[in-house]
Amino acid sequence: MPVSQHGDPRTLGLNEDEVAARREAGQANVLPPRSGRSVGEIVRANVFTRINALLGILFVLVMATGSWINGAFGLLIVANSIIGIIQELRAKHTLDSLAVVGEARPHVRREGREYELAQEEIVLDDILIAKPGDQIIVDGEMVEAFNLELDESLLTGESDPVAKNAGDSILSGSFVASGTGAYRATSVGKNSYAAQLTAEASKFSLVHSDLQAGINRILKTITWILIPVGILTIVGQIRVGESDWRAIILSVTGALVPMIPEGLVLITSTAFALGVIRLGRRKCLVNELPAIEGLAHVDVVCADKTGTLTENQLAFSQLQLLKADGALADSAIRTDASGDRSEREALATEALRQLAAADPTPNASMAAIIEAFGTAKDPWAVQSAQPFTSALKWSGTSFTNGQNWVLGAPDVLAAHNAPAAEEASRLAAHGLRVLLLGEASVAVTDDAAPGDVSPVSLIVLDQQLRPDAGPTLEYFASQDVQVKVISGDNAASVGAVAESLGMDAGDPVDARSIKDEDWDRTVNNSRVFGRVTPQQKRSMVAALQKAGHTVAMTGDGVNDVLALKDADLGVAMGSGTSATRSVAKIVLLDDKFATLPYVVAEGRRVLSNIERVAKLFLTKTVYSSILAILVLLFSVPFPFQPIHVTITGWFTIGIPAFLLSLPRNNDKARPHFVGRVMTFGLPSGLAVAVASFTTYMLVRNPDFVGAHGAQAPTAALLALIIGSSWVLAVVARPYEWWKIALILLPLAGYGLIFNLDVTQRIFMLDSSNLDAMLVGTLIGLVAAVFIEALWWFLGIRGGKRPAIWVPREEREAARKQRQLEHEEFMLQRREKKEHRREEPVPATD
């Protein structure tokens, strides 16, 4: 839709025919897929995996033996692939739809009129408008520049803005720090840097994650173990006199299949994908998937005040007039009431209107002033202008009539002990934003600007608190996450806002007063900071990271970009500038600060649940490896058929692990994921393996219980099931009703399998020797006691008393949260239905 008109014949832009011709010539700004992989790539990536290849080879070999029942593990290949494909496609759909909402829509000038278009609609030679906070989305050449400065830190690493003039070349990926301008697109689509930037943004990715790195280390180790174990198993079976190649293949398969953690990668990918989908329902765009994991580790949140704790919009409150000598006048103007005005009042009002008329891109403060006073009906001619920047803390305009007007922070423009500065501090202490209007002694673009400033009035603006800010701060406090409020506003004003939200602000710090030698200590010990420059925000993030903190930074303005980029986790508001959205790992599309606790909870769910799942799979791998080694050392046939380890892997590990990866989990994220998994998985797997093999060796001895045929393997399988089921029992804690069912239902299924004649024939079992089954039960229980003791020992050593049952207050909180989410879901459904009803019915011919 058209936004405005422009009359400069040199920069009118393309006409419709020229745009159409460029599209036909393939010169449109075609962007890469928003969510990275295409559907075909997703299918290939989930089908042709290392684990599927290993299972596939073993499946073909088993099928060659003619033992179809032992090939049941082949279903894992199909199940893993289908579930992985479905979940990633769901995540792709969520990311694609959110990316469309969250992406920047540039203003393009065509035939003298400005249009807001999607990025894909831009063509070569289009004229694009550049305003503060806009990201340069295609390479181009400046055709207009008004005090324009670009921040090219995303390209060069240099944080100082670079002045740009007409004729200068610019690269996509930079963003407008101040001023305005227009540029002609010289490279679009895959030929511009923007194509690479877009390819990295909004991508479904499972890389660069501590969790993934840990799992990959485990998988790499297992892969190297598989080959020698397979060879040794073949050698062992030949040594015990086995000459039937079919029996050897089944023994090798029975040894190797349980060693492969076939569900670990799938469940991890599924957990991440579900995280994307869940957060997507809350209008949270995850530009980088490991960000879900990252926020779970965050222990410091640096929150920008404006746009995070307070609304972006400001409301005019009052105009406090100042006398010619700078002293306070007797009264304040609270509205722009009409009627007779004093000379001082008329001067201030006219100056504000002229500044408003001269500002092509008014910020929130100027927008509030325009709403209260309007703009000049007879604008003065502008000689030069200085846009507002976070570094300067003021803006101004020099007019050809010789007047130089400035508007900005009172503690910057006025003398320290001046009445105006003292009154501004008093008002700011109540949480108000205060600006000073004054007349400067030099031109606003002069090197000495603003020079001596003659104060004329104070402009007082109201800041509206976000209704969700208080509860969110309270949540972070309850989770031992520090919140530091960092703002470019007056420190007292920022502190008052924080206090009004229930936060202990301590002594608010003016960032200009911090000495270099005290910087790190002050940043780490204080909570609220004011008058912070963009470079100081970046330095604050570095100081916190240096102290060992994992830092999240929220922001919405161009002055937040550098800090967002350097933070461990950058969180941008959807209504913020396109530059902040592009560098952030998470974008809150509906600007709700209250969404962050859900992101924290989602990260904790993924990390804690995957740690549980990894313990289950590693235990299975360990006991399978040790069994294979023990069989070789004692020169005995391998006790299990592939079908035995398949049913155990499915019902004791696979299906329970999948379900355990889904529920809420508020356990705080901790480092050393691999260490904790190995500390539990290795001894647990050893206990299960020793119990099973001991049972096998005892009951196959003719002098002990006289077991024969399948009786010894059945007793050994029983000991293995009891031990591995107890691993599931302790990993699933703390218990809820459904977790108890998760443990008991497979045991009930095993009871049927071990006792029914038909199932025993199908699964090659023989439980008729009661003495052998008793031995297996007792030895399995010994392993269970060891695993129970290990769980208590590791929990107490970790400094936390293990919990067997979910505490009552947590159950109640979870119930209320489920109820709230259900109500939100039903509300969204009703809104969608109402929206569909309101949509106009398309006309038919």
Token pair recorded at residue 532: 């912070």
Out of 304, 556, 591, 766, pick the active-site residue: 304
N-to-C CA span, the chain: 26
Which region holds residue 430: left if phi is over 0, alpha if psi is between -120 and 50, else beta?
alpha
CA distances from 619 to 258, 684, 795, 804 (A): 10, 6, 18, 21
Q: What is the DSSP string of 580-632?
A: HHHH-SEEETT--GGGHHHHHHHHHHHHHHHHHHHHHHHHHHHHHHHHHHHHH
- Cα separation, 15 vs 109, in Å, equals 10
Are 336 and 368 a contacting pair, CB within 8 Å?
no
- Cα separation, 582 vs 579, in Å, equals 5
ω before 842 within 30° of 0 (cis)? no
Token pair recorded at residue 694: 């001991």
Tell me which residue of 560, 177, 164 sits closest to 387, measured CA to CA. Answer: 177
Q: Which residues contact 377 (CB under 8 A, 6 or more apart)?
A: none
- Cα separation, 615 vs 491, in Å, equals 49
How many CA atoms within 13 Å lie on the side-chain side of 152?
15
Q: What is the DSSP string of 349-363?
A: HHHHHHHHHH-SS--
Strand (E) positions, 94-204? 107-110, 113-116, 127-130, 139-151, 162-163, 169-170, 175-187
Are 104 and 122 a contacting pair, CB within 8 Å?
no
Residue type, 220: K
Are 387 and 395 a contacting pair, CB within 8 Å?
yes
User: What is the four-CA torsion angle of 782, 784, 785, 789, rounded to 10 degrees?
Assistant: 140
- Cα separation, 724 vs 650, in Å, equals 12
Are 573 and 283 a contacting pair, CB within 8 Å?
no
Are 552 and 304 a contacting pair, CB within 8 Å?
no
Token pair recorded at residue 323: 């006398």
To the nearest 5 percent, what fractions of the chain are helix, strand and coil?
Answer: 55, 15, 30
Q: How many CB atoms lie within 10 A of CB 242?
A: 16
- Cα separation, 431 vs 434, in Å, equals 9
Tell me which residue of 650, 763, 582, 574 sits closest to 196, measured CA to CA. Answer: 582
Tell me which residue of 90, 82, 75 sits closest to 46, measured CA to CA. Answer: 82
- Cα separation, 341 vs 338, in Å, equals 8
Q: What is the C-alpha radius of gyration for the chain, rounded to an integer number of angstroms? A: 34
Tell me which residue of 626, 612, 812 sits closest to 729, measured CA to CA. Answer: 612
- Summary count for the chain: helices (H), strands (E): 29, 23
Looking at residue 298, the DSSP 8-state letter turns out to be -
- Cα separation, 681 vs 723, in Å, equals 12
Active site residue 304: yes
Which region holds residue 672: left if phi is over 0, alpha if psi is between -120 and 50, else beta?
left
Which residues are annotated as catalytic? 304
